[in-house]
Amino acid sequence: MNLAEFRTVVRAQWPSGYQASTITDAMITMWTNWGIRRIERSNNYYWMEHEVVKNTVDGQRSYRLPVEDEANAAKLFKSELHLDLIDVNNSREPLKKWFKPTIEKDVQFASLVDTGIPTHYAIGQQQYKLYALPKHSLNEDTAFQINLDYFGYSYTLDSDGDTNEILQVHTEPLVHLVVAQGFKHGQDSEMWQWTMSLAQTGIGEIDLASDNQLYGAVEEQLRPADQQGIGDTSWH
């Protein structure tokens, strides 16, 4: 299902002619992107796994975390899985995550503030920071590669033909979220609350399906702990 088809499905859920003169395609598209982001904030799903590789700059500590850049196959960063350093011999070493204030103030990490071969990293201010500062002369005067595996948000849907995993496979909860926004727009708090509860139930089903993809089919009692829900569903 693409974005245009999804809008048709959404409109079919409202009573005939409901807010026909005020709910535009652009509004439904906006609500759709909002709903996708709301679902993806609630958990780290299998379709959100992504990877980018970047070369180090000699003596440079900070590197920007991925932003949405579909042309270069990058998704907006949500959280990292792991960060690996790859040297000129293609040897890969996972970097250890630590807190920036600890690394920069604790004497036991003093050597990491200087130049060398990075062994640790910290994340903050939309960047990841390498410790030690990469020194290319220790890598045959060649840049190291940084391989970042991470969870990233789906691309924003703009064109009628755009689609993603939620539209194709996990459509129902998103439909409920978008339909709920229409009821909110029409000041129907009772229907808004009801469709939001349907969405919450559907998101729980996506969580289970994603866990099965990530970890293999498991019994309910063996599932990893649930993540925080999609948020307050009180009427605003």
Domain definitions of the chain by residue range: 3-45+155-215, 48-152
**Length of the chain, please?**
236
- Round the average pLDDT of the chain to a whole number and report it: 88
Tell me what pLDDT residue 8 has: 96
User: Does 220 score more than 70 pLDDT?
Assistant: no
CA distances in angstroms from 8 to 11, 24, 58, 103, 179, listed in the order given: 5, 12, 53, 53, 11
**pLDDT band for position 98 (50/70/90)?**
confident
The torsion angles phi and psi of 147, rounded to 5 degrees, stand at -100, 115
Instruction: With cut-offs at 50, 70 and 90, classify the pLDDT of residue 125.
Output: confident
Residue 43 has pLDDT above 60, yes or no: yes
pLDDT at residue 88 tops 70: yes
**According to the model, what pLDDT value does residue 233 have?**
44
| pLDDT band, very low/low/confident/very high, at 228 (cuts 50, 70, 90) | very low
Summarize pLDDT for 3-26 with one digit per residue, the tens. 999 999 999 999 998 998 999 999
3-state helix, strand, coil in the chain (%, to 5): 45, 20, 35
The pair of three-digit structure tokens given for residue 45, joined into one six-digit string: 């799903």
Indicate whether 104 pLDDT > 90.
Answer: no
Q: What is the mean pLDDT of residues 127-133?
A: 93
| pLDDT average, residue stretch 32-38 | 97
> In the structure, what pLDDT confidence band is assigned to residue 234 with cuts at 50, 70 and 90?
very low
Q: Which residue has the higher pLDDT, 63 or 220?
A: 63
Global pTM value = 0.81
Q: In sequence order, what DSSP letters do the residues of 147-181 get, joined into one string?
A: EEEEEEPPPPP-STT---HHHHHSHHHHHHHHHHH
Residue for token pair 């026909």: 20
pLDDT higher than threshold 90 for residue 61? yes
Provide the pLDDT for residue 208: 87
Report pLDDT for 232.
Answer: 46
Residues 160-190: tens digit of each pLDDT? 999 999 999 999 999 999 999 999 999 999 9
